[in-house]
Structure 1
Amino acid sequence: MGELFSILSNFLFVQNAIIAGLLSSIACGISGTFVVVKRISYLSGGIAHAIVGGLGIAYFLGVNPLYGALAFAFVSALLIGTVKLKMKQNEDTLISALWSVGMSIGLIFAYLTPGYNVNLLSYLFGNILLVSNESLWLMFSLDILITAIIFIFYKQFIYVCFDEEYSYLRGIKVEFIYILLLIIISLTIVVLVQSVGLILVIALLTLPSSIARMFSTTIWKMIVISIILIQVFTFSGFVFSFTADLPSGPSIILAAGVGYLISFFVNNFLRKKKLT
């Protein structure tokens, strides 16, 4: 353990990775809470995989991959929101199509890129140890933006997440709030995917918030617990990856998965104990 703290204090890339974990906990903790409450985990996974298409096209055109990912994420969010709210159709089929077609487009354009030196699979798993200072500032800006939006529209988000019909009766602009929620999720995915990878983003959006929901009575408590859990899982994943000489991203996901299983059984035990 002493050697680990020595590395933390002497190597800047490790410090940046820890900071990235702390910053991502805020965005994922807030967004993930509403993903779990609204039960749109599959939707967030669909957007996450659809942006691969934007990444591939951006590489082919020689522009910043972030722009391509943002474009695909926003288009996906608008399509899903329109199908659900305007056409009153189940969005599962559209999400599956965006998921598969987006990844296919990304791989095709990556193949067509001169030199074919683009490894889009690196975006699936990422490498949090390679996070740059620019990415850290981008994460910080994302945290400020999401926190401000949730603070301003908190009540509207609560109503829309729990009861859309009642929200209409109260005069809330359900379409606007729902699309805004999808945009927040999209921004979180796009900003973090370059640093931590798609798989870790999806895990951090769902597992900690699912655990928090088991032991929370309010949305704010759920958000706070989610943020703390992400930080715990990130640090414990780092420790495990260091001691076992394993990749950091999968180690963090494993820590979150173990945490979810433990919480699931503990929650069931406590519920049965109350009944008896």
Structure 2
Amino acid sequence: MSIPEFITDLFNPDLAFLPKALLIAVMSSVVCGVVGCYVVLRGMAFIGHAVAHAVFPGLAVAFVLQGSLVLGGVVAGVVTALLMVVFAQNRRIKEDSIIGVLHVAAFAIGIVVISQAPGYAGSLQQFLFGSLTGVPDEDLYLAGLTGVGVLGVVFLLHKEFVAVSLDREMARAMGLRVFGLDVVLYVMVTVAIVIAVQTIGNILVLALLLTPAATARLLTDRLGVMMLLSPVLGGVSAIVGLYLSWSYDLPVGGTIVLVLTAVFLAAWVFAPRHGALARRYRRHRTLSGTGVGPALGGQEDTPADDVATESASARG
């Protein structure tokens, strides 16, 4: 299918679900792209995975009661996120163990609940892998409103989130309420995942949260630029993935994830500063004695260098 034919289908009244799928895909990509920057910066990939599973019982209950999937997922995710933060205060058990217990329990609850619904197999497949036709108008509007709310919170609390992400103890010394900021960030992750789960599915949604942000981190050292690049990369990948999915009758969630992964791999190899080719070239120059490395004394970039750059960007 050519691009003009795809655009024609977008405006075809008989395919009204297609523009809705495109809108929800782009909205979820933008929100996940912005929130995902904090997830990558803090090393919260496992927490994002846990929240993705935690929203499942809410989605299942909403489906059984024929209510809003977005609202059901947000409620379940927020409750689980709050439990994660509260239980993590007990240092006897490490945070990753608590997260593991809660996210598996939440997913199991969702499986039990949805198994009681008519059409169990098809419903489960839609939840796990996404559906082009499964986005009601009310969920589209609710997703838009919640997405705007998340971006508003990011605008208001960006510096605080960065401070906590880089050095929690220093943030406490500065008088920041670290516990409250953790709760807000967990809730933002939950909302971003719930918005995305309807198109891309519960299993693959973590890719939309992490892959654009990780790709952007390879392309820039500045957090502000990273937070602009990430949603753009996610949004463009979602549009391309939806186009390929519609053209070749492929699963939409899997196709979007594969496009995101291809972009990440391209950045991994060809990024001008942190790509594999650039790093190999700098090492070759250093060893051949024709130049010096990117850091003082010809050494490669270190995590401390990146943290210093992020901190400087946050203060700016």
Question: TM (normalized to structure 1)?
Answer: 0.90
- Give the superposition deviation at 1:237: 0.9
Determine the C-alpha separation between the residues in 1 that align with 2:264 and 2:219. Answer: 12
1:268 to 265, 276, 282: 276
Q: 1:61 to 1:27 in 2, by over 3 A?
A: same
2:25–2:196 Cα contact (<8 Å) kept: no
- Give the superposition deviation at 1:83: 3.1
Q: 1:150 to 1:90 in 2, by over 3 A?
A: same
Equivalence for 1:87: 90
Secondary structure of the equivalent of 2:90? coil
Instruction: Work out which of the two has the higher radius of gyration on C-alpha atoms and give 1 or 2.
Output: 2
More helix by share: 1
What CA deviation, in whole Å up to 9, does each residue of 1:215-259 have, x standing for no partner? 122222111101110111112112322332212221111111111
1:238 to 239, 242, 254: 242
- Count, aligned residues: 274
Identity of matched residues, %: 27
Determine the C-alpha separation between the residues in 2 that align with 1:191 and 1:21. Answer: 9
Letter of the 2:158 partner, please give it: Y
Q: Specify every segment of 5 or more residues in structure 1 that has no aligned partner in the other structure, as ranges.
A: none
Higher deviation after alignment, 7-16 or 38-47: 7-16
- Give the superposition deviation at 1:73: 0.8
1:226 to 206, 209, 230: 230
Describe how 1:175-194 pairs up with structure 2 within 5 A.
175-194=179-198
Determine the C-alpha separation between the residues in 1 that align with 2:236 and 2:67. Answer: 36
Letter of the 1:154 partner, please give it: H
Structure 2 residue 18 is the aligned partner of structure 1 residue 14? yes
What CA deviation, in whole Å up to 9, does each residue of 1:172-230 have, x standing for no partner? 11111111100111111223323432234211101010000111222221111011101
Determine the C-alpha separation between the residues in 1 that align with 2:138 and 2:208. Answer: 21
Equivalence for 2:7: 5
Q: Specify every segment of 5 or more residues in structure 2 that has no aligned partner in the other structure, as ranges.
A: 286-316
Letter of the 1:6 partner, please give it: T
Q: 1:133 to 1:60 in 2, by over 3 A?
A: closer
- Give the superposition deviation at 1:58: 4.4
2:62–2:68 Cα contact (<8 Å) kept: yes
1:13–1:129 Cα contact (<8 Å) kept: yes
Describe how 1:1-276 pairs up with structure 2 within 5 A.
1=2, 2-10=4-12, 11-59=15-63, 64-84=68-88, 86-88=89-91, 89-113=93-117, 115=118, 117=120, 119-266=123-270, 267-275=275-283, 276=285
Question: TM (normalized to structure 2)?
Answer: 0.79
Determine the C-alpha separation between the residues in 1 that align with 2:21 and 2:69. Answer: 21
Letter of the 2:90 partner, please give it: M
In angstroms, what is the RMSD of aligned CA positions? 2.1
- Give the superposition deviation at 1:128: 3.5
- Give the superposition deviation at 1:263: 1.5
